[in-house]
Amino acid sequence: MWISPRIWRSPKSEFNDDEPLHAATVYTPHALRQITAQGFNAIWMRGRLWDLIRSEICPELNDQLADRRLASLRTVISNAQALGVKVYLFFNEPLGLPADHRLWTTHPELAGQPSIDFSTGRKVLAVCTSTPQFKAFFDESVGNLLADLPGLGGVILITASEHHSHCWSHNTTRRVDDACVAKGELPMRCPRCKSRQPADIVAELVETWQRHARQQAKPPEIWVWNWSWSMWYDEPQDEIISRLPRGVKLLCDFERGGVRTQDIGDVFIDEYSLGYVGPAERCVGSISHARRHGLGVCAKLQIGVTHELATVPNIPVIPCLFDKLRRVDDLALDGLMCSWNFGNSPSLNTAAMKLYANTPALRGDKKAFLLALEGQYFGTSRPQDVLTAWDCFGKAFGEYPLSLAMLYFGPMNYSVSYALSGEYRDRPMGSSWIWHEPFGDRLEDCLSPFSLDQVLRCLELMDQHWSRGMVAYSLALDDTNNKHQVDELNCATMIGLHISAAKNIFDFHDWRRRAMKAGGLDGPCMIDLDEHASDIISRQVATCERALKLATSDERFGYHQEPQTRFYTPESISHCIRAMLDQAKSG
């Protein structure tokens, strides 16, 4: 058997809602069988201690729905076991609580480092893990939770960045370019934790989970994720790895911490990427150190979509995906977490994953693998054209201007519904994975560390490569009665439109900045459109009109699974087109 477990999740499971409460409704036996049919043998959901615990030490934190959530999870665990599927819960604990939470009235001694919640802007306080009271509470809560969920396959722990948790979770010792961390970071004020090292706190938290896991009849696995440990320690963060208890598995980001050579030069990879094969140098170093300390090792990657573009079902860069899986194979890992909370739809990409996992004879021959996948999934009379298209698609995403700023604040997810206007509002871009309206227009927010010229060059190359791939794909995928062919051709077409629209957006911004400089203008301001600007708007109108046809016929497009929200609809694209056409008439 290939690497196991291979963890996936349902695209219908809502990470930001109450996954445990609705688990039994979402992860029915039928849904679990669909996941196994895609080649996976484990699932993950989000857990929150405050939703699941029963505590006598801090009873004010007990939730009245906890028993229902636990019962729902037990149902899923039982159904999953019958199908040979493991269930994992993801935790980012102890989650900070709002500054006005009642806990701080009854237990002021537990109040730790403040932070600002990235999504809401509200002040939150860490529950200080350095206090004796917290240690007793955490020990009790983790012990009860694992005892209440017999048969749980494991837990996956993030201990840095993300939601504010312990006192060091949003405070750095090294320079980072993570806007989520930067927005939440405040000077270290906790009198107990400021004299301690982040590794001390992480090791204590993990040890509690591992100690209670060992006490269960069937111990759940403890996977400790190295996400954002780089905000505290140099590569490969051995300060933490060396402190982890024996028996846990280190979950390593496969791509984060790597470097890719592109037309514009070397680009640092600080997020998941389907256009970068990996593994990152950080991943390789972390695995080496983990094994030196007797730990199991797993990898976290995404095979459907990433923040590069998340409002389509999948990004068909299949040769890159094959190379990625080959290198995963070489690392002889103890498990794979194959998705985050979006990009979990069945697609060509999951079919590729299943074929690789189930067919050892194809793992050593890339072309044979690609031809076999094409034959099984499409069965066209022009297989070489399909392979040519996939190669072009990989080259396109190999030129993506990948940075945290672009991924987290860039317009790619909604570019096909983005209206260009001579009115510059100087409005912040807003988070790319959270629905917001209206869209921002201050594109400097998403440029760093690149120049505007570099971003334009990247998008130009992406557009060229993708367009060449579409010529070959369109020739091969011509069977309108073949659902796989229709769906994947539509998907690739929409991705190309996203790229073209993004290029139009940055082209227009380039024109706008030059016009503002020439006129001595600062934002907000109104700029008269010249012939060049009007040409860019005309291109954007044509791109949006093509996207409108696809979005009207295929409801998969525009949907982002993390917020479970449509970032564009036929109505919003139509509104975008009308706004640009009305502007042209009035101008």
pLDDT of residue 179: 60
Residues of the chain with pLDDT under 70: 177-185, 587
Q: In the prediction, which pLDDT does 180 show?
A: 58
Sign for the pseudo-dihedral over CA of 61, 64, 67, 68: negative
Position 194 scores a pLDDT of: 92
Range 6-94+129-174+192-360 has CATH code 3.40.50.1820? no
For residues 491 and 154, give the distance between their C-alpha atoms in angstroms, rounded to a whole number.
35
Residue 158 DSSP class: E
Could you count the other beta carbons within 10 Å of the beta carbon of residue 580?
Answer: 18
Which part of the chain is CATH 3.20.20.80? 6-94+129-174+192-360
Which two tokens mark 551? Answer: 């979005």
Structure tokens that stand for 374 in this block: 């094409």
Can you give the pLDDT at residue 585? 78
Best CA proximity match to 256, nearest among 223, 285, 288, 278: 278
pLDDT of residue 174: 80
Which helix (DSSP H) or strand (DSSP E) does residue 532 occupy? helix 531-553
3-state SS track over 169-232? CCCCCCCCCCHHHHHHCCCCCCCCCCCCCHHHHHHHHHHHHHHHHHCCCCCCEEEEECCCHHHC
